[in-house]
Amino acid sequence: MTFDLSEFASFVDLEFRAKFRAVIDQISLPVADRVDRYTCWPGLIVEAMDPDSGRLTLRFKTNPSKLRVGEYVYVNNLDVPPHQVISGPEGVIEALDTRQGICRIRAGYRQVHRFLGRFRIGQKLVLDLTLPTVHLNREMPLLALRLVSGDLGDAPRLQRIRGLMSGERRAQLLEDTGGAPGSGVEEGDPSLRRLTPSQRRAFDAATRRDFALIQGPPGTGKTHLLGLIVRDFVRRGMKVGVCALTHHGINNLLLECLSHSDIPDVCKIGGREHGRIEGHGSRLRLVKSPGAYFRSKTIPAVTGFTQHAAFSPVARNLDSDAGADALPDRFDVLVFDEAGQLTVPAALMAMVQADRYVFAGDHKQLPPVVQTLRPGSGPARSVFQHLVEQADHEAFMLEESFRLNDELVRFPSEVFYGGRLVSASSAKARRLQLRTNQRFADVLSPEAPSQLALVRHDSRSQEAPEEAALIAFLVKEAVEGGVPAEEIAVIAPHRRQNVKIREFLGLLGFHGPHPQVDTVERIQGQERDLVFLSMTLSDRDAMARGAEFLFLPNRFNVAITRARKKLVVTASPALFRALPRPEALVGAEPPLLDDLNVLKRWYFQHRTRAVDVTDRAFDALSELTRLGAAKVSPATPSDAATRTSAKQNSESGFGPS
C-alpha cells in the first residue's frame, strides 16, 4: 500500500477546527449551561496566593466538571460575562484534593504577570476549559507530516518511516550484540527466565529487530515487559526514548525502568502536574521544558516525553531552515507505550527522533479520542492499528492475563482476541473474598465473577438514579463485607451518572477518592478487585443518537476487563430491548451493526443467570432520598410509573431484536 499523508493532514485540520468550535460554543453559554457540559467549574474561593508566582490555592465543596489535574483553564471572577471568559488569564490545575476540598492553580505559559494583583483572598472564581493550542494541536502535527513526506528535504530516516508506514519496509533482524537467547547475561537473569512464552517472543522481537509491535491485552504484563526491554537496550549502551500519549503512561513506564538498579539514570520532560515520580535520588532528573533538555549535552540512559516535546527541537530546526538534514540523533531507539491511542500524526512527531522503534499497545482497547470521525476509522485510527491492519506488520501478542480470572477472561478472549487470551495460573482461581449475608448477597456472590444485575427503568439517558442508588449500596455492602474501598471501581459512560453515584456514595459516608468513580477513558490501564459498570441508558432515541460512541466494542472491552475478581454490570432490560435496529440508524455502516452485536452477545451469555434487583434498587433510591441531601432528578415517566411499567415487561419480552 501507499502511505497517503494528505488524508492525515486533512484530519488534523478538521479535528482542530471541531475542537476549537466546540470550546467557543461552550464558553459563550451562561455558567449553568457550561456546568451542564462539564467544562466549567464555578464557586471556588481564593484561600491563598503567592505574590511572586501568582499561584492560587482555592477551596471548593464539589467539582461538577470534568476538569482534572493538568487541565489548562481560564481563571475568572464568578460573575464574568460569557463573552469575556476567553479574555481571562490561563492557568493550569496543579493539584486537586477532593477530600480536603483544595485546588491549586499555577499560571500558564507567560501568564504570571496576568495573575499578579488580579485576585484577592475570599474572591469567588470560575474555571473554564481553554481553547486548544494552535501550535500544539495543529501546526506541529502538520509540520511533522510535511517533514515525513519529504517536502522539506528527504533523508534516509524519513524514507524508512514512510516504508514502515506503507508496509513496503519490513522489520530487519539485527546482529547479535549480547542480548540474544543463550547469552551469558540472559542465562543468569531470573527476570527473563520468568517470562511467559508469549512475553519471551515479544522480548526477542523487540531486542533483536529494528522494529517491533507488541500487543498487550488487559493485564498481560506489558509495562513490566517494556521495562525489561528498555533495560536490555541500556545494558548495550543505547540511549532510549520513551513516548506515550499521556504523562501518566510515561510515568508508569519510567517507574518500571527505575525499578531496575542497572538503569543508571532516567529523565522526564514536563508534565509536573500529571503525577510525580520522585524518591529516586540522583537517578531521576525532572526537566521543566523540552528546550532545557535538548540544550543539555548530557544524555541520560532513558528519557520520557510526549510527542510534542519530542518534536519541539525538530520544529526549531525547521524554522531555522535547517530542514531534514538536521534531524536529531539523541536516541538509539524509541519505545512507544499506549500506541493504541496515538494517532499516526502524533506518532510521526516522535518517530523523527530515532531509527529504531518498539510500539506497544492494543488496538482492541480504546482508540484515539476524536470528534470528526468514527473512532478507529480512516485517518482516525491509531498508529498501532495502522501498522497492524494497513501496513500488515506482525504484532506479537501477550497471551496470558495476570489480572482476569478464568471466568472474566472468557468473553474478551473469544470476541476480541481470537480465543488466544487465557488466564495465567496465578489468576485463574482468584475470587472475591467477601463476608455478607445481607440484601445484595446474590449480586455480590464470589461464585459468579461476572454478574448482570437488572434494574427495570425506562427513558433514562445520561443519568439513571436507580442504578446509581443500587451501586452506592452495593459498594457499602462490599466494604462492610471486607473489600477495601481502594479495591473498588465504578464505571459509567456519562459524567452525569458518575456525579450522581458520587453524590449517593457521599450520603453513605464515602467522601474520599475511593472507591474510584469514573468514565471508561479515565480508568483504562487500571484494575481493581471489584468493578461495577453502570450502563445507565434505557432511552431508545438517546441510544440512536450516541450509538457510535456508546456501543464501540473497544470501550466495552476496556470496561469489562478492569476487574481482577468480580464484575457487576447494572442495566435496564430496556437497554437491550431498545438497541437501535438497523433501519433506525440512518446511513449505518456494517461496523456499527457489529458494535451492537457485541453487546447483544454479552447479554445473551449472561441473561440466564441475571439477578432482577428492581425493587431493591428503588428501595435504595427511596432510602437515599430520605437521607435529605439527595436531589434526585425527576424521571420521565415518574419513578413510580417507571417501576410499574418496568414490572410489566416479562422476561420473554425484553430480549434485543
Residue 575 maps to which CATH number? Answer: 3.40.50.300
**Average pLDDT of 178-206?**
77
| Same-domain check for residues 482 and 593 | yes
Mean pLDDT, residues 440-449: 96
Residues 295 and 234 in one domain: yes
Q: Which DSSP state fits 89?
A: P
Residue 639 lies in a domain: no
Under 8 Å CB-to-CB from 538, ≥6 apart: which residues? 457, 458, 459, 460, 464, 572, 574, 575, 578
Residues 219 and 352 in one domain: yes
Residue 643 in this model has a pLDDT that exceeds 60: no
**Which tens digit of pLDDT belongs to each residue from 51-74?**
888 899 999 998 888 888 888 999
Percent of the chain with pLDDT over 90: 64
Cα 88 from Cα 77, distance rounded (Å): 9
pLDDT of residue 651: 39
pLDDT at 579: 64
Average pLDDT over residues 427-449: 93
Judge whether 354 lies within some domain.
yes
Q: What is the residue type of 3?
A: F
The answer to whether position 597 is within a domain reads yes
340 C-beta neighbours (distance < 10 Å), count: 28
Average pLDDT for the chain: 87
Whether residue 17 lies inside any domain: the answer is yes
Residues 143 and 212 occupy one common structural domain: yes
Together in a domain, 105 and 159: no
Are residues 386 and 532 located together in one domain of the fold? no
For 288, counting Cβ atoms within 10 Å of its Cβ (0-12 exposed, 13-18 middle, 19+ buried), the class is: exposed
In a domain, 652, yes or no: no
**616, amino acid identity:** R
Q: Is the pLDDT at 633 greater than 70, yes or no?
A: no
The pLDDT of residue 225: 98
Indicate whether 623 and 485 sit together in one domain: yes
Torsion-angle region of 628 (φ positive above 0: left; ψ -120 to 50: alpha; else: beta) = left
Point out the least confidently predicted range of 495-499, 501-505, 576-580.
Answer: 576-580
Residue 115 contacts residue 89 (beta carbons within 8 Å): yes
C-alpha cell at 227: 521495562
Give ∠ CA 548-553-559 in degrees, rounded to 5. Answer: 115
Please indicate whether residue 475 or residue 552 has the higher confidence score (pLDDT).
475
Strands 400-401 and 102-107 come out as: unpaired
CATH of the domain at 30: 2.40.30.270
Number of folded domains in the chain?
3
Average pLDDT over residues 418-445: 94
Above pLDDT 70, what percent of the chain? Answer: 88
What is the SS3 assignment for 372-438? CCCCCCHHHCEHHHHHHHHCCCCEEECCEECCCCCCCCHHHHHHHCCCCCEECCCCCCCCCCCCCCC
Cis-peptide, bond into residue 493, ω within 30° of zero: no
Q: Are residues 295 and 366 in the same domain?
A: yes
What's the whole-number mean pLDDT along residues 291-318? 90
* Residue 435 confidence class, pLDDT cut points 50, 70, 90: confident
In-domain check, residue 406: no
What CA–CA distances, in Å, run from 141 to 138, 375, 442? 6, 19, 52
The pLDDT of residue 590 is: 47
Helices and strands (H and E) in the chain: how many: 27, 22
Averaged pLDDT, 38-55: 92
Question: Does residue 19 sit in the same domain as residue 103?
Answer: yes
522 shares its domain with 600: yes
Whether 26 is in a domain gets the answer: yes
Q: Does 189 fall in a domain?
A: no
Domain identity same for 105 and 166: no
Same domain, 330 and 462: no
229-254 confidence digits (pLDDT tens): 999 999 999 999 999 999 989 999 99
Global pTM value: 0.88
Stronger pLDDT, 109 or 319, i.e. the higher one: 109
Q: What is the residue range of 310's domain?
A: 136-170+198-398
Q: Of 354, 375, 398, which marks where a domain is finished? A: 398
Query: Contact at 8 Å (CB) between 376 and 386?
Result: no
Q: What would the 3-class secondary structure string for 537-586 be?
A: CCCHHHHHHCHHHHCCHHHHHHHHCCEEEEEEEEECHHHHHCCCCHHHCC
